[in-house]
Amino acid sequence: MSHMGIPYHKALPWIEDIAPTKNINILGVFMRFTEDAEYDKIQL
């Protein structure tokens, strides 16, 4: 996710930090595979 957002290992702490905020409603998250077959296995 680094090119579109934040590194995967920082995502959960960030979500936990902002989740209690009254004006934020988390509906979901996403990731995108790189289309590099070998690296996609690492991402998965």
Alpha helix positions (H), the chain: 8-18, 37-43
User: CA-CA distance, 38 to 26, in Å (whole number)?
Assistant: 31
Domain span at 21: 8-43
Is 27 inside a domain boundary?
yes
Q: What is the pLDDT of residues 1-44, one digit of tens each?
A: 456 677 778 888 998 999 999 998 888 877 777 778 887 788 77
pLDDT digits (tens, 9 = 90+) for 15-26: 899 999 999 888
Q: Would residue 25 be called left, alpha or beta, if left means φ above 0 and alpha means ψ between -120 and 50 degrees?
A: beta
Asked if residue 3 is part of any domain, the answer here is no
Q: How many residues does the chain have?
A: 44
Q: Residue 1 falls within a domain, yes or no?
A: no
Domain presence at residue 33: yes
Number of domains observed in the structure of the chain: 1
Instruction: For the chain, list the strands marked E by DSSP.
Output: none
Q: Give pLDDT, residue 4.
A: 64
